[in-house]
Each structure stands twice: as structure tokens, then as C-alpha cells.
């Protein structure tokens, strides 16, 4: 069966500056990943690591510099506008900021109905019935339809965004930090909603997050990005319990440990900001912040290698959990 999403060797460069100051940012530098049907792949990494750019390219909202994207077995990058419209039925984007992403001049009904109007699904009465059904699905009362998005809280607005994204029954949702703008108390509700919807509708999620507690809860697999590249990938349990890349170890140690686990974890503090992708470090891009860096790391870029079945790491000196860090 085709994957819900497959990305092969994606590169995305942006020109920046002008004249003699002109240069290039390589926001995504050779990313490959796959999301199976009904599966959640979490994409994690610090701000600026290329997560959003990867996601935008995945849904053809940005044009890759090179590489291929496949959704449901169809190659996306060469699609005509007509094919792209039909792609929107398959795959939808949920944005981080539910305040900026909903048009304040439209009613909730118009917002949720718009994809049905654009794709001419059924007749007008059928579309209104579908809007009511979708609002119910995301836990909003029927009278929400007549109101304007600014009358709702952040969590409710994100529910409106999710209802709209589900209107055409897609198989893939790309969720770009969908709860990071929400109050912590509301985050869990929206996460639970997304997990319920996944079970009921066999949805695949590419789920971008920097909150590892959220990742532990929702993801089946995790891919860790650093400066445009995937540095570690594997089953979520495995990545959370036994990270092998020093960068992942540092990310995990910065995250609050789950209560009641009773495991003492040494805290590794990542110092400094990530380097700029305009002038990335030689060799392994993480060497400038890595406590294990040796000469090789400064000169040779480590390939992403499968160390254990389904668990790949791009590091010359992967952390050994049995002897290091307890």
C-alpha cells in the first residue's frame, strides 16, 4: 500500500539579501521521510531547523529546490493547478496560530464550508449539513456556525481549523505546532481530539512539535531535525527512552521527565543557539555544540545509518545507553 506521505531527498533553498550581500539559505538539506496511513510521525527540532519548510514543501505550498514528494502514491512537485486542487482533498495543513489562520470576516459556517464550495461537493443544503456534522466531530456546539471566529478562544479556534481541514475527508493532515499557541490546559484537549479523529478516520499525521511531552503522547515515530537535516529517526518509544544522537539526548534531557518514572536522568544543557543555515558548520553540523565532538566530526558529515532495526542515527559517535548517561 502507498504511504500517506513520502519525501525523497528534499532540498529547499531560499535566496536572501540582494546585490553583493546576496546569499542562499538551505532551509532543508536532503530530507527523506515517510508517513504510513493512520500513523503519526512527529518532526521535532529547535526553531529554524527546517520543520515548517519541510511541511510546506510536503503539501506543495512551497516548491522544492530538488527532491520528490509523494502523497498517496502520486508525485506532487510536478502537478498542474488542477491536480493540486484535487490533492487538497487528500492532504490538509493545520497551522500553528489559530488566530491568524482563520479569516475574521467570515462566519464559522463559511470558513468550514469553503473547501466544500471550492470543490463543489454536493448541494448547498448538503454542505450545511456537513458543516454541522464537522462542528460536532470537533466538539463545537451547532450554534457556533453562525458566529465569527473572534468570538472563540484559542482552543476553540483550533477546533474550527481542524473542522475545516477535515471537510474533504483527507487521509493526511500536516499539523504545524498545532497546540503551541494554546494554553497548556487546552493543549491536552486538542491533542486528545486529534488522536480520536485519527482512530476514527485512519488519518495520517505529519506532526511538527517542539514539546516532547506532546510528542511522547501522540507520535508513533519521531524524526529529529537539526539545521535542515534529519539526525535521528525511529519509533517514538525508542527515541524517547533510548536516544542515540547527542542532539536528541540533549533535547530529551531538557524536557521535563514524566512523573513517576523514577529514573534519574542527567541533564545536558544545550548551549548557544543553533548555527545559521546560511553558513552551516563543516562535517557534522552539530559538532559546534556537541560534547562528544572529535576531529572526524569537524570534517566528515555522518550519514544517517540504521543502527538498530527501524532506528537510524547520523552520528560518528552515537550515545551508548548501557554505558553512558545511565
- Closest C-alpha to 94, from 226, 236, 209: 209
Q: Pick the binder of ligand ADP from 3, 4, 41, 49 (CB under 6 A).
A: 49
Instruction: Between 27 and 197, name the residue whose CB sits nearer to Mg ion.
Output: 27
Q: Pick the binder of ligand ADP from 47, 86, 192, 282 (CB under 6 A).
A: 47
Look up residue 75 and give its three cell numbers: 508525485
Determine the interface stretch with Mg ion among 21-29, 47-55, 129-137, 185-193 (rule: CB under 5 A). 47-55
Number of H helices, E strands in the chain: 10, 12
In the chain, the N- to C-terminal Cα span, in Å, equals 40
Residue 16 binds which entry of Mg ion, ligand ADP, none, with Cβ cut-offs from 5 to 8 Å by kind? ligand ADP
* Least distance in angstroms from the C-beta of 312 to ligand ADP: 20
Restricted to residues 12-41, the positions that interact with ligand ADP (CB under 6 A) are: 14, 16, 25, 27
Rg (the chain; Cα; Å)? 21
Tell me the C-alpha distance between 19 and 15, whole Å.
Answer: 11
* Least distance in angstroms from the C-beta of 50 to ligand ADP: 4
Instruction: Between 51 and 316, name the residue whose CB sits nearer to ligand ADP.
Output: 51
Helix, strand or coil, per DSSP, at residue 230:
strand
Applying CB under 6 A, does 302 fall inside the site for ligand ADP?
A: no
How many Cα atoms occupy the beta-carbon half-sphere of 124 within 13 Å?
Answer: 1
* Least distance in angstroms from the C-beta of 314 to ligand ADP: 17
Residues that bind ligand ADP (rule: CB under 6 A) add up to a total of 13
Applying CB under 6 A, does 246 fall inside the site for ligand ADP?
A: no
Instruction: Between 52 and 187, name the residue whose CB sits nearer to Mg ion.
Output: 52
Residue 53 binds which entry of ligand ADP, Mg ion, none, with Cβ cut-offs from 5 to 8 Å by kind? ligand ADP
Applying CB under 5 A, does 52 fall inside the site for Mg ion?
A: yes
Determine the interface stretch with Mg ion among 45-53, 160-168, 187-195, 317-325 (rule: CB under 5 A). 45-53
* Least distance in angstroms from the C-beta of 205 to ligand ADP: 16
DSSP 276: P
- Closest C-alpha to 146, from 167, 162, 161, 160: 160
* Least distance in angstroms from the C-beta of 273 to ligand ADP: 11
DSSP letters spanning 243-306: --SHHHHHHHHHSPPPTT--------PPPSPPPPTTSPPSSSTTGGG-TT--HHHHHSPPP-EE
DSSP 49: S
Parallel, antiparallel, or unpaired: how do β-strands 5-16 and 23-35 relate?
antiparallel
Q: Pick the binder of ligand ADP from 64, 98, 171, 277 (CB under 6 A).
A: 277
Look up residue 81 and give its three cell numbers: 493547478
Instruction: Between 16 and 300, name the residue whose CB sits nearer to ligand ADP.
Output: 16
- Closest C-alpha to 33, from 25, 44, 23, 22: 44
* Least distance in angstroms from the C-beta of 215 to ligand ADP: 14
- Closest C-alpha to 113, from 105, 156, 121: 121
Which stretches of the chain bind Mg ion, using CB under 5 A? 52
Which stretches of the chain bind ligand ADP, using CB under 6 A? 14, 16, 25, 27, 45, 47-53, 277
Amino acid at each position: 500500500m502507498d504511504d500517506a506521505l513520502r519525501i525523497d531527498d528534499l532540498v529547499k533553498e531560499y535566496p536572501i539579501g540582494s546585490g553583493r550581500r546576496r546569499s542562499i539559505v538551505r532551509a532543508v538539506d536532503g530530507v527523506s521521510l515517510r508517513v504510513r496511513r493512520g500513523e503519526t510521525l512527529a518532526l521535532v527540532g529547535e526553531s529554524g531547523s527546517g520543520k515548517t519548510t519541510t511541511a510546506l514543501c510536503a503539501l506543495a505550498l512551497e516548491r522544492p529546490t530538488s527532491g520528490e514528494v509523494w502523497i498517496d502514491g502520486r508525485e506532487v512537485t510536478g502537478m498542474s493547478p488542477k491536480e493540486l486542487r484535487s490533492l487538497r482533498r487528500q492532504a490538509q495543513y493545520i497551522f500553528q496560530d489559530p488566530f491568524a489562520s482563520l479569516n475574521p470576516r467570515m462566519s464559522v459556517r463559511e470558513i468550514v464550508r469553503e473547501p466544500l464550495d471550492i470543490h463543489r461537493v454536493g448541494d448547498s443544503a448538503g454542505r450545511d449539513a456537513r458543516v454541522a456534522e464537522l462542528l460536532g466531530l470537533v466538539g463545537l456546539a451547532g450554534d457556533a456556525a453562525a458566529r465569527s471566529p473572534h468570538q472563540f478562544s484559542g482552543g476553540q479556534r483550533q477546533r474550527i481549523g481542524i473542522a475545516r481541514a477535515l471537510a474533504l475527508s483527507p487521509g493526511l493532515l500536516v499539523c504545524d505546532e498545532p497546540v503551541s499557541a494554546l494554553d497548556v490546559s487546552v493543549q491536552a484537549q486538542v491533542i486528545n481530539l486529534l488522536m480520536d479523529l485519527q482512530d476514527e478516520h485512519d488519518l495520517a499525521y505529519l506532526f511538527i512539535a517542539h514539546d516532547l511531552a506532546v510528542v511522547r503522547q501522540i507520535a508513533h515515530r519521531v524524526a529529529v531535525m537539526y539545521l535542515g537535516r534529519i539526525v535521528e529517526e525511529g519509533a517514538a518509544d525508542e527515541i524517547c527512552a533510548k536516544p542515540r544522537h547527542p542532539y536528541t539526548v540533549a533535547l530529551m534531557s531538557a524536557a521535563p521527565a514524566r512523573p513517576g518514572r523514577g529514573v534519574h536522568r542527567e541533564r545536558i544543557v544545550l548551549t548557544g543557539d543553533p548555527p545559521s543555515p546560511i553558513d552551516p558548520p563543516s562535517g557534522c553540523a552539530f559538532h559546534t555544540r556537541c560534547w562528544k565532538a572529535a576531529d572526524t566530526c569537524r570534517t566528515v558529515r555522518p550519514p544517517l545509518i540504521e543502527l538498530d532495526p527501524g532506528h537510524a542515527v547520523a552520528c560518528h559517535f552515537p550515545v551508548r545507553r548501557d554505558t553512558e548517561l545511565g
